[in-house]
Amino acid sequence: MQTDGRHEPARSPHHLVPSAHFDALAAGRGDAGTIRFLRTTEYSRRLLLLRALLDAVAETPGALGPLPDVDSAWDTLAAAQERSPQDFGELLLHPQVGVWLGHGLRRLRRTAWGDGPLWTDLGHVFTVCAVAALRTGLPLRTTVPLRDGGVMFPTLGLARLPDRPHWGTAEVVVEAGRLTVDPHGACVGPPDGTGPPGPLLCPDQPAQPEPPEPPGGDGPAWQRPHRLHARVAGRPVGVWLDDIDPYRDLSEPLPAHRLSPDETARWRERFGLALDLLEDSDPEAAAALAEGLRSMTPVQSSSTGTVLSASSGDAFGGLLTSLPPDPVTFAVTLVHEFQHTKLGALLHLLTLERDDGAERHHAPWRDDPRPLSGLLQGAYAFLGITDFWSRRLDRAPAAERASAEFEFALSLRQTREAVETLGADPALTAHGRRFLRGMAARLPAWTADRRVRPGIDAMAGFAATDHRTEWRIRHLVPAPDAVRALARAFVTGAAADLRGAESSVVPDLTTRWSHARARLIRQVLGTPEPGAAPPPGGPPAPSAAAERALVSGDPAAADAYARLVAEDPEDPEAWTGLVLALALADPAAHPLLRRPELPRAVHRELRVIGTTADPRRLAHWLAAGIAGRPAGRDPAAGGLTAGPA
């Protein structure tokens, strides 16, 4: 920040990305030094965002409502930065402060909304001022906004003032190392440097030492954030487990949702075990994570039990996740989201792609079509996940070895397909192509890895092809005129002519995927899906018999799926199973995997014109036509490597 010239244009030197850091990040890596560099660049960005927010507030009449003027906030923050740049910088880099900055700017630009008046979001700057003053030893008297009758002080805690209005104000005094909310309200003090902040007595009472963790520590007027602890390379690591800050989500502010003591204990235990596991397999990655991770927000898991996680470019060092069921899944989740964190910070410095945002690419780990930017993020995350499983292979206990082999082989296929798709997209910039080359350079050594047994590798190939096939059937629509011509040709007994039968991406999100076959493969291996327990009894009826027949390689699978198609001719999962079963049973049907969306589309047209067609006969007829056409290059297509044994 600048302590004077506040109404002049902000000036800051450009950050230059050292080649060593760029190349390390492109390879999916980056040590603690790389993360420190990214934190430095993110600090500059936060300063610019803070300046932009305060300038926009100054130019918006009434933006702060009953709160003090914006110049008082500027003066406090500038003084805090000058007195203790390190303390101020750590506060400004707190992930929830970054989310607040982004949300505040979006509210001013009317691209986001809040649950209260505008000044309740923008006025959060005064709670940041109070913490900055407390951290740096500055005296301060100011007014802060209330939200749901409380005030959140980032990294410090949530003051509860139940007798105050839902949307209102409270007075805050910072002096002599104490922060007082209202003369007769909650009084808290700063952390003592050994743990998270805790409640203290009011200034006229003797100070008490902070109790050791886990302290409970909450009182009727004060809640403090939880803390997760671990050790990496012999050094302590502390991460906030935040269930109270309204800006802990990635979009709209949230009310506090306190974890129970038992829930908090489970988080602490699994986090420590996950860091131990990660350090054992990849010390450099563990040290980088310890350097960059600052907070985790707990969220509810999905109805299927699958771990849900997310991160944002606004919140460098923060992530949201449901509680992973075991240390391995927790470690994978940390690697996944930290990859997004690193790439997000790099994207604040360099432009890697110039895409129109159209959702058109198959991402092998997603059910929906993705824009180029989303595919790049996903591919980078799975580059890190593939690295994790490669290192995990030789350390996994015997009971988990098959699972590690399968996850490594599957994530490698997913990453390789995504990298190939990215390489064919002309919207990558020169920096983006250099970055992609760094990603691609990791793949050959993994592809040549012989530690995965052939049968398990075949299962991974089947799972990847299964996903790709269903994605195409759901989201690719062949040209209507070509479909009508194919239907007429089928009725007259002519050969299938695929000229003009190109397909377009039309996202179809009307029905959810069951992923039944992938779950069954993991059951065959005796391993659960990462982050989820398979439902008892396998896939739900009536498709259970067909799914089991396909996964076990039973030739009767095609007949079972044909019956499912007869019952529901639009069911994408039934058509996927039929295409896979036919391709496994007969090499002549293998070309269907290049254009699996055609059988359902032509079958639909035949029903429109009143013709009943056996879906197996139609599929074989189309396969002959596809085989007679040059394959071309289609990143969304792919062969069926092998069926499960």
- Contact assessment for residue 456 and residue 643, using Cβ atoms and an 8 Å cutoff: no
Closest by CA position to 375, among listed 393, 392, 353:
353
Q: What is the β-pairing status of strands 503-505 and 476-478? A: antiparallel
**487 and 626 within one domain:** yes
Query: Where does the pLDDT of residue 208 fall: very low under 50, low under 70, confident under 90, or very high at 90 and above?
Result: very low
pLDDT at 252 (0 to 100): 86
Domain that holds residue 145: 20-192+229-347
Question: In a 3-state reduction of DSSP, which class is residue 131?
Answer: helix
Residue ending a domain, among 319, 347, 375, is 347
The whole-number pLDDT of residue 205 equals 36
* Boundary-marking domain end, from 420, 452, 484: 452
Residue 588 dihedral angles phi and psi, to the nearest 5°:
-65, -25
Tens digit of each residue's pLDDT (9 = 90 or more) over 317-348: 999 999 999 999 999 999 999 999 999 999 99
Q: What is the pLDDT of residues 283-303, one digit of tens each?
A: 999 999 999 999 999 999 887
Torsions phi, psi for 144 (to 5 deg) = -125, 155
CB contact at 8 A, 96 and 124: no
| Nearest C-alpha neighbor of 15 from the set 274, 315, 345, 352 | 345
Is 3 part of a structural domain of the chain?
no
Residue 222 lies in a domain: no
Is the same domain home to 503 and 390?
A: no
Q: What is residue 555's predicted lDDT score, i.e. its pLDDT?
A: 92
Same-domain status, 403 and 465? no
Q: Kindly indicate the confidence band of residue 305, based on its pLDDT and cuts at 50, 70 and 90.
A: confident
Give the pLDDT confidence score for residue 1 in this predicted structure.
44
Give the integer Cα–Cα distance in Å for 65 and 6.
Answer: 22
- Asked which of 43-47, 200-204, 545-549 is least confident by mean pLDDT, the reply is 200-204
3-state helix, strand, coil in the chain (%, to 5): 50, 10, 40
| pLDDT of 537 over the 80 cut | no
What is d(CA 546, CA 554) in angstroms, rounded to the nearest whole number?
9
Mean pLDDT of 462-480: 98
Q: Which residue did the predictor score with more confidence, 474 or 10?
A: 474
Instruction: Say how far apart CA 458 and CA 413 lie, in whole Å.
Output: 11
Residue with tokens 């049907």: 589
Assess whether 398 and 293 both reside in one domain.
no
The answer to whether residue 97 sits within a structural domain is: yes
50 in the same domain as 188 = yes
The Cα angle at residue 539 between residues 536 and 541, in degrees rounded to 5: 105
Q: Is there a domain that residue 218 lies in? A: no
Please name every residue paired with 244 in a beta bridge, in sequence order, or none if there are none.
none
**List of residues 6+ apart from 481 with CB closer than 8 A:** 500
Residue 2 included in any domain:
no
Same domain for 41 and 148, yes or no, is: yes
- The yes-or-no verdict on residue 222 having pLDDT over 60 is yes
Q: Is the dihedral of CA 157, 51, 431, 367 positive or negative?
A: positive
3-state DSSP assignment of residue 99: helix
Concatenated DSSP letters for 424-450? Answer: T-TTB-HHHHHHHHHHHTTHHHHHT--
Q: Provide the pairing of β-strand 226-232 with 235-241.
A: antiparallel
Supply the pLDDT for residue 183. Answer: 60
Read off the pLDDT of each residue in 615-619 and give the average, rounded to a whole number.
97
Average the pLDDT over each of 259-268, 600-609, 622-631 and give the range with the smallest value: 622-631
Give this prediction's pTM. Answer: 0.90
Asked if 109 and 235 sit in the same domain, the reply is yes
CA distance 253 to 427: 35
Q: Is the residue at 334 inside a domain?
A: yes
Q: Is residue 427 part of a domain?
A: yes
pLDDT of residue 639 exceeding 50: no
Contacts of 592 (CB under 8 A, 6+ apart): 579, 582, 583, 598, 599, 619, 622, 623, 626
**Residues whose CB falls within 8 Å of the CB of residue 107, separated by 6 or more in sequence, listed in order:** 113, 114, 118, 121, 122
Q: Which of 404, 431, 452 is where one domain is finished? A: 452
Same domain? 542 vs 581: yes
What total of structural domains would you count in the chain? 3
Going by pLDDT thresholds of 50, 70 and 90, the confidence category of residue 217 is: low
Residue 580 has pLDDT above 80, yes or no: yes
CA dist 214 and 227 (Å) reads: 9
Within this chain, do residues 527 and 379 fall inside the same structural domain, yes or no?
A: no
pLDDT digits (tens, 9 = 90+) for 54-92: 999 999 999 999 999 999 999 999 999 999 999 999 999
Residues 6+ apart with CB under 8 A from 301: 307, 308, 322, 323, 531
Is 420 found in the same domain as 275?
Answer: no
Q: Do residues 469 and 410 both lie within one domain?
A: no
- Express each pLDDT in 357-371 by its tens digit: 999 999 999 999 999
| Alpha-carbon separation of residue 113 from 106, 120, 548 (angstroms) | 8, 12, 48
- Decide the pairing of beta strands 309-310 and 318-321: antiparallel
Alpha-carbon distances of 106 from 32, 73, 351, rounded to whole Å: 32, 20, 22
Task: Give per-residue pLDDT as tens, 125-170.
Answer: 999 999 999 999 999 999 999 998 899 999 999 998 877 888 999 9
Residue 198, pLDDT score: 36
Please state, for a pLDDT cut of 70, what percent of the chain lies above it: 87
Between β-strands 318-321 and 169-175, what pairing exists: parallel, antiparallel or unpaired? unpaired
How far is CA 366 from each of CA 299, 303, 414, 467, 513, rounded to the nearest angstrom? Answer: 20, 17, 10, 9, 10
Long-range CB contacts (within 8 A, 24+) of 356-362? 356/427, 358/505, 359/505, 359/507, 360/505, 361/421, 361/425, 361/635, 361/636, 362/417, 362/421, 362/468, 362/471, 362/472, 362/635, 362/636
CA atoms within 13 A on the CB side of 552: 10
Omega before residue 478 within 30° of 0, cis = no
**Statement to judge: residues 548 and 630 lie in one domain:** yes
Q: How high does pLDDT run on average in the chain?
A: 89
The whole-number pLDDT of residue 213 equals 44
Count other C-beta atoms under 10 Å from residue 305's C-beta: 15
pLDDT score recorded for residue 162: 78
DSSP collapsed to 3 states, 225-241: CEEEEEEECCEEEEEEE
Residue 7 domain-assigned?
no
Which two three-digit tokens encode residue 109?
A: 């630009």
